[in-house]
Amino acid sequence: MEEKSKDFFWTSYVDLMTALFAVVLVLFVLSYYNLNKKKQELENLVRIKEQEAAILNKVKANFKLFESEPNIFYFDTKYNRIQLSFEIKFRKGLAYYTLTSNDIEGDFKGTKKKLDELGSKLKSIINEFQSQKKHDTLMKDISYLMVISGSASKFPTDSPNENYILSYKRALSLHEYWKKNLGLDFDAPKYHDIIELQISGVGFGGVGRFNSPYNSTKISEEEKNQRFIIHIAPKIGK
């Protein structure tokens, strides 16, 4: 009887250890699987972040193209945007928004020359973007939003609604000027894979204005708001 009890004990002990071994083995396999899964997820995340960083660096490098023309562009560190380094001096009034000698004060030929240089340089830069999109995998999912924005001065008798329309017409006149004088249309189908063009008017609004209280001695400062601002912002994604 005692011998049978011993045999039963050892049989039960062996079964128990076998069961424990099986449980430990299953837990080990599950832990190993989960560890590898987590490792793969982290490696995929690292690859995605590295690709995103590479794309961001590519976008930053492309904006260096604007710095090569300091007589046309300059980087505004306060508002983190690229601006024109020359002024357009429109005559005051809602009737003056086209880029003709009747609407522009001062050196019209010099202004026209700068606008031609601006259009040609923008075309060169956008052509470079387009070439990169064809040959550089980092540019595959990158395009750009280009906004030609007109602005207006603000004097006591001015109407906000009328100046929104004026500033829009001012931006539109630049687009039409380039089409007529340079044969350059950034809204043409050949640019649609790289550029989305928008034309807008901000009227009295917008950031980075030459703000000053109305004062006869500071009229020239407020008149500087009669200008164009061209925004080029990257659009990243499929």
Q: Is the pLDDT of residue 10 over 80?
A: no
- 190 and 225 in one domain? yes
| The predicted structure's pLDDT at residue 236 | 86
| Least confident window among 1-10, 129-138, 143-152 | 1-10
Same domain, residue pair 98 and 180: yes
* Arithmetic mean of pLDDT, 215-238: 75
For residues 101 and 29, membership in a common domain is answered with no
Residue 101 burial (CB count, 10 A): 11
| Domain total of the chain | 2
Mean pLDDT value across the chain: 83
DSSP string, 64-128: HHHHT-TTTEEEETTTTEEEESS---BPSSTT--SSSTTTB-S-HHHHHHHHHHHHHHHHHHHHH
* Average pLDDT of the segment spanning 160-169: 89
Q: Which of 167, 105, 145, 143 is nearest to 236 (CA)?
A: 143
Q: Checking DSSP bridges between strand 195-201 and strand 81-84, what pairing results, if any? A: unpaired
User: Distance between CA 125 and CA 121 in Å, rounded?
Assistant: 6
Q: Are residues 7 and 99 in the same domain?
A: no
Q: Quick one: residue 93, left, alpha or beta (phi over 0 = left, psi -120 to 50 = alpha)?
A: left
Is pLDDT at 219 greater than 70 in this prediction?
no
Distance CA 111, CA 117 (A): 10
pTM, two decimal places = 0.76
More confident position, 121 or 79? 121
pLDDT for the residue 212: 56
Domain match, 47 and 114 both:
no
Is residue 206 helix, strand or coil? coil
| Cα 217 off chain centre by | 38
Residue listed under structure tokens 């070439």: 131
The two three-digit tokens of residue 29, written as one number: 């396999």
Mean pLDDT computed over 233-238 = 81
Residue 121 and residue 3 share a domain: no
pLDDT mean over 163-173: 92
Which domain range does residue 104 map to?
68-236
Six-digit token string for 235: 């659009």
Give the end of a domain, one of 41, 67, 93. 67
Residues 84 and 160 in one domain: yes
Percent of the chain with pLDDT strictly greater than 70: 89
For the segment 97-140, what is each residue's pLDDT rounded down to a tens digit?
899 999 988 889 998 999 999 999 999 999 999 999 998 888 88
pLDDT value of residue 213:
53
Highest mean pLDDT among 12-21, 98-107, 213-222, 229-238: 98-107
Res 188: pLDDT: 95
Q: Are residues 143 and 214 in the same domain?
A: yes
Do 97 and 136 fall within a single domain?
Answer: yes
